[in-house]
Amino acid sequence: MTHKLFEPARIGDIEVANRVVMAPLTRSRADEAAGDIPGSPMNVEYYRQRSNAGLIISEGTQVSPVGKGYMATPGIYSDAQVEGWKPITQAVHDAGSKIVAQIWHVGRVTHPNLTGGVQPVAPSAVTPKVIAYTRAGKVEALEPRALSVAEIKDIVAEYRRGAANAIRAGFDGIELHGANGYLIDQFLRDGANQRTDEYGGSIENRARFALEVVDAVVAEIGAGRVGIRLSPVTPANDLSDSDPQAVFGYLIEELDKRGIAFIHFVEGATGGPRDVPGFDYAWARKAFKGTYIANNGYTREMAIEAVDSGRADAVAFGRAYIANPDLVQRLKLNAPLNTPNPQTFYSHGEEGYIDYPSLDKAA
């Protein structure tokens, strides 16, 4: 029996060979000293190995130096970074897959040690209870500086430039990182957004920044090449909201009006329990007419059921893709999966990055 999970599909303007998606995975292996530049032979091989996915979503790539939250994460704001991404996107295309760039700004979830000495920025001066990992070791996050309206407009422009640069670098589109407590999420949720101007207070105002960013990138590269990642109820990075159904329900209805390609949902707590109350994903599936990409702890059986039943259009896998470069083949054959080693998720060499065996090498 052929399951829909392994059949071709169309995600907006992007034709994909199957409905298995490689989730965005921070791996901290860009050339930080040279300016957060990707594209080393090791980086190229990592993405090439995993190009059996119908769609690859790149690791988070910051739209500005101030948007950086982790060591050795790549950027998408300089010409050198664009050139660095080109051999990666070419390798993915040569292997028959498609790739979109996840573009992000981490907002308050960073430290001056990572941003060139610049104080973190956020919707409001609310300090998150998080630890930043820097070259100087683990440090507590500082109180961020509340952005001015003019600065918010500048960041919207940075996202637009990031989307344009992604296309220049050979990506098939972009995913806005609107999840897991980063800047877009900080504006959406009242646990971080205490503003009283047009970007705070009401649901419409808290969603304004997200929608301005969406409108900017759609104007730059077209709605059919734009997606967004959302995590309505995750507590990641010390973020919360008093009524996630209301704010994310409004946002999803507005995204549907704009005709974007996909919404990538983290169902439940990121990397944790799926049964977190506060948001109705079945409602979201019906409300949004684009592609629904499901994520968070999916097994082979869960993924097949979700797509066969129509509950989702595609399923994204994260840790499974770290350890199984040939994940689609393994899922098709119901073959055993390699176990990922968390000790090497964010180290800086080839170990735990490009040395996991594929089935043909393991045989």
The pLDDT tens digits for 276-293 are 999 999 999 999 999 999
What pLDDT, on the 0 to 100 scale, is given for residue 363? 45
Quick one: what percent of the chain has pLDDT higher than 90?
97
The pLDDT tens digits for 242-256 are 999 999 999 999 999
Mean pLDDT score across all residues of the chain: 97
For 246-310, give the DSSP string. HHHHHHHHHHHHHT-SEEEEE-SSTTS-S--SS--HHHHHHH--SEEEEESS--HHHHHHHHHHT
Let me know: does 307 contact 329? Beta carbons within 8 Å.
no
Q: How far is CA 60 from CA 83, 101, 171, in A?
A: 17, 7, 14
Residue 349, number of CB atoms within 10 A of its CB: 11
Q: How far apart are CA 219 and CA 157, in angstroms?
A: 11
The residue-averaged pLDDT of 207-227 equals: 99
Q: How far apart are CA 125 and CA 121, in angstroms?
A: 8
The residue-averaged pLDDT of 160-165 equals: 98
Question: Which one is catalytic: 182, 199, 292, 321?
Answer: 182
Token duo for residue 5: 């999970």
Let me know: does 119 contact 132? Beta carbons within 8 Å.
no
The residue-averaged pLDDT of 315-339 equals: 97
The residue-averaged pLDDT of 320-344 equals: 97
The residue-averaged pLDDT of 158-177 equals: 98
Q: Which residue has the tokens 């005709």?
A: 259
- The reply to whether 133 belongs to the active site is no
Q: How far apart are CA 358 and CA 363, in angstroms?
A: 9
Token duo for residue 139: 């440090």
Q: Flag whether pLDDT at 323 surpasses 70.
A: yes
The residue-averaged pLDDT of 262-266 equals: 98
For the whole model, what pTM was predicted?
0.98
Token duo for residue 239: 């973020």
Look at strands 61-62 and 137-140 and give their pairing: unpaired
Q: Flag whether pLDDT at 234 surpasses 50.
A: yes
Token duo for residue 348: 């800086």
The confidence band for 362, taking pLDDT boundaries of 50, 70 and 90, is: low
The pLDDT tens digits for 4-20 are 999 999 999 999 999 99
DSSP-assigned beta bridge partners for residue 177: 229
Look at strands 9-11 and 262-266 and give their pairing: unpaired
Nearest to 25 by CA among 351, 314, 342: 342
The confidence band for 99, taking pLDDT boundaries of 50, 70 and 90, is: very high
Let me know: does 54 contact 19? Beta carbons within 8 Å.
yes
Q: How far apart are CA 308 and CA 287, in angstroms?
A: 19
